[in-house]
Amino acid sequence: MLKRTVQKLVDRAGYTLTSKRPTIDIPLYESLYGKESVAKRRFYNICAGGHLAFGGGLDHPCWTHVDLDKPWPGARAFNPDVDIAHDLFSLQPLPIESGSAELVFSRFAVEHITDEAAQVLFDEAFRILKKGGVLRITAPNTESDYRAYLARDLSYFSWRETFSIKAIQDHLRYKIPLNQASIHQVFLAHFATNASTIHRDGAPNPISDEELQSVIESLPFTDALNRCTSRCSVEKQRLYPQNHINWWSCRKFDHMLRASGFRHVYVVGHHQSVAPVFRLRGFDDLWSEVAMHVEAARE
């Protein structure tokens, strides 16, 4: 019931929780990767608890979803017949054979986990990919958020109205509608949600407007954002996995992916990819105005 209610509300507001229905081009998959890989679904969509489906709640016949077995409201239900249950916070290896994956995709997941968990995810993606395989990651571009915050450009944070709809506000555990929050808390809530003052059940020492401004003014970009995320509670994140507790930039992705063993790391545009499959509809059709897309190829 909550899922239907939230979806109706956000559709009315001109926003969809899920992306457009994906292009299902099985002949293309088979021509590139062979019938066996398609039949065994050797394409892995790794999530952090909710963005399981590519669009419209639809399963893609080529892809295996890796996620929590209890995603939050508004997400596609876990399907034990075709999904793999895995908690990224466990820091455990993925239950997938080394060198067996054709493609790995992760959309809007890494902002929901710690750096430690993200590094394990990248390490595991490198391990399971075949030579020539590609990892594609989509995440909010926190550098763009940061520049908008410095410019006090409140219009940049376009999701404020949608996240002020009562059902979504409650789902995100906000005390007040986001369109009533200061730009300091709007910015903070996008990468360190439970450290913000607007979270109903957040970290015990939330960051005030004055403290955030002081941190941003006194520290370089990386140090300032790390100072904020260090105040996030992982225990609270486990309770409310829909919130964000991490930030991402091109440089951070490059550093961490290379640490996992990838030698070819690059930023790509909307619907741009070295892998033809990733150019199909369904991969980049969610929050494209704030998203960044990064790929890493396995030699």
Q: Each residue of 73-115: pLDDT tens digit? A: 556 677 888 889 999 999 999 999 999 999 999 999 999 999 9
Say if residue 155 is in the same domain as residue 281: no
Q: Each residue of 243-271: pLDDT tens digit? A: 999 999 999 999 999 999 999 999 999 99
- pLDDT for 6 beyond 60: no
Q: Each residue of 197-247: pLDDT tens digit? A: 999 999 999 999 999 999 999 999 999 999 999 999 999 999 998 899 999
Say if residue 84 is in the same domain as residue 33: yes
Is 9 a domain residue? no
Say if residue 108 is in the same domain as residue 34: yes
Among 127-131, 133-137, 257-261, 284-288, which stretch is predicted with the lowest mean pLDDT? Answer: 284-288
Say if residue 36 is in the same domain as residue 126: yes
Q: What is the mean pLDDT of the chain?
A: 89
Say if residue 23 is in the same domain as residue 123: yes
pLDDT for residue 71: 59
Q: In the structure, what pLDDT confidence band is assigned to residue 129 with cuts at 50, 70 and 90?
A: very high
> What is the rounded distance in angstroms from the CA atom of residue 150 to the CA atom of residue 276?
38
pLDDT for residue 11: 46
Say if residue 126 is in the same domain as residue 147: no
Q: In the structure, what pLDDT confidence band is assigned to residue 72 with cuts at 50, 70 and 90?
A: low
Indicate the residue among 220, 239, 258 that finishes a domain: 239
pLDDT for residue 75: 62
Say if residue 41 is in the same domain as residue 103: yes
pLDDT for residue 147: 98
Say if residue 156 is in the same domain as residue 232: yes
Is 169 a domain residue? yes
Q: Which residue range is the domain that position 150 belongs to?
A: 142-239
Check which CATH number belongs to the domain holding 47 and give it.
3.40.50
Is 37 a domain residue? yes
Provide the domain count of the chain.
2
More confident residue, 261 or 53: 261
